[in-house]
Structure 1
């Protein structure tokens, strides 16, 4: 996670990521006021208001760092900016940065690079650049952002053993129910670029709308 702290001490690339996250959070409705956004991200309420007005008037281009666009190979991206880009890809999906869909495709990575550090790269060049730094295209893991992992773990470790013991004492048959079919929260098809060995995660809405069948074993 990109630590904000005093945003003025961040690099221009990191500052832009913060601006994108602030505006994306307001756009999504996760926070409703400038004050809430300022408290969440540790920036001034005045800055939040200025960024939001620029975004509403011009679009996300108004949030771009003041870097002159350049065309060239990946070596033009310094180590500090590269670290910011990779951290942003690890922490957020493209739609959370107002760039595009849920997966980090070569085209969307190229857009992130252009927006944040001002370097223009082709999709082929982005693919080579990512592989050079240990990234591979992977099928993402789907995870509901409404799931409370602590409650799930507590149920498995505390409540389920008691249920199983009661079923055994009563000579009852326990059945696990499964459902399959079409769901509105299915992870999108395709692959997302991520460091080799680290499966990317796509956060999906936990509110499920489905047409399905049920089976028990």
Structure 2
């Protein structure tokens, strides 16, 4: 005996606004006199879902059917702790016993654990830092022997010395040469 699969005419909905439209349609069908079972069969949802939609509509009206973005988990840090963590990031990391000046999410998470006994995953903590207004930045690499003052003085001293030496020896500049 061979069984044939029946194609589903209602696709799976994952978009929040489409879900909202489906909830509104479900409530409208109920208000028109359809049963919860009929509506759940038509929209390919559970009877519990339709029952929830009706409850939300009765308690909150149209607003109860709106598509809302999930707020995410509640912050583990209290507002004053958040301010303190942000103040750390305006200071040098070496002040907190780290070897270099660079702040990393691992270092911030480590300090939060030490100071407040709150665990965070360093891999996901970057999102938290972005929400606080911090952006990831790579420090520029600079040679240890680099002397900014010598670099600034070079055009005044060395370059003028090189120009004078070139003119005195009778060298011709490329700009004065004519093409063949």
TM-score normalised over the length of structure 1: 0.34
Higher-strand-fraction structure: 1
Considering Cα pairs closer than 8 Å and 6+ residues apart, tell me whether 1 or 2 has the greater RCO: 1
Bigger Rg, which one: 2
Higher-helix-fraction structure: 2
